[in-house]
Structure 1
Amino acid sequence: MNVNQKIVIFTIIIGIAHSATIGKLLQVPDKDPTLKALVYKDGLPKANAKIHDTVLWVPATTQFSARRITVMNQGKLYSTWTYDMLLQQSNCPSRSTPMADLPGCKAISSSPKTLCSVHTSLFDNDFSSAESEVYCTKA
């Protein structure tokens, strides 16, 4: 079997496996790279905009209880992600810390906690299409 045949077979297998999950609610592991990207690129910036504090709030834990459902929309995969973030204040000032630096901000363990639920929908691998709603309550 040559390389091109192997690529075709691999593509078919991946397509079948992926289509088996379309329309099904799936648990997402906390270490999922797309989940981590959603948390830091979308969820946390929106949560911090809602909280309005002098410091940035960051995850107190790396447990997000994430779920995802994927459907076909206009011939493309479209996923809705739902996850929870337990947040605490960090030592990063909100006025001078760029959102890109959020992963480096550490939670102050003695600070109060806030629980934020995030619902994000986007075309797969297209963060510019992301639409999110964030709801936060004191924990």
Structure 2
Amino acid sequence: MMKQIVVLIFIVFISMIDSVTIGKRIQIPDKDQSLRNLVYKVGLPKANAQIHDSVLWVPGTTQFSAQRITVIQQNKPYSTWHFDMLLEKSNCAVKTTPLTDLPGCKAVDTSVKVLCIADVSLFDGDYSSAESEVRCSRQ
């Protein structure tokens, strides 16, 4: 019985915290795993499609200045993310490297940088629902 009460209190506490952030813009830590997943699964593929190079471009820094706003849509959390990616050329060739291998690519040319700004909206954790816009400019 005591264990059930503790679980119930925990669930209520988590729900209260979630409701406090619904509809509010919050800063996201650079090490947030959901942010990292969005960068590599959504942001970088779109950025590389715009850059048109023989090698893939990857983050040259781990700072993304990310923000997120979450609302409830269709009874599920729906989040809009905004983040920056400062990209550099990597050691991975476009023709031979699948986009799923992007996390293993390392930046090698730090002289030329591309700043990409990404806006991604999706139902939390459902990458198939992602709608995104990525804008890139050379620095």
TM-score class, shorter-chain normalisation, is over 0.9
Please tell me the root mean square deviation across aligned C-alpha atoms, in Å.
1.0
Query: How many corresponding residue pairs?
Result: 139
Identity of matched residues, %: 60
> Helix, strand or coil: the match of 1:6?
helix
Which runs of structure 2 are paired with 1:76-87 in the superposition (5 Å)? Answer: 76-87=76-87
Match of 1:14 in 2: 14
Contact 1:58 1:102 in 2 (8 A): yes
Contact 1:43 1:134 in 2 (8 A): yes
Match of 1:114 in 2: 114
Match of 1:74 in 2: 74
- CA deviation after TM superposition for structure 1 residue 51, in Å: 0.8
For structure 1, the residue ranges without an aligned partner over 5 or more in a row are none
Match of 2:89 in 1: 89
Using the size of structure 1 for normalisation, the TM-score is 0.96
For structure 2, the residue ranges without an aligned partner over 5 or more in a row are none
Aligned equivalents of 1:108 and 1:4: distance in 2? 53
Aligned equivalents of 1:13 and 1:110: distance in 2? 46
Contact 1:60 1:109 in 2 (8 A): no
Structure with more strand by fraction: 2
Aligned equivalents of 2:15 and 2:75: distance in 1? 14
> Helix, strand or coil: the match of 1:110?
strand
- CA deviation after TM superposition for structure 1 residue 22, in Å: 0.5
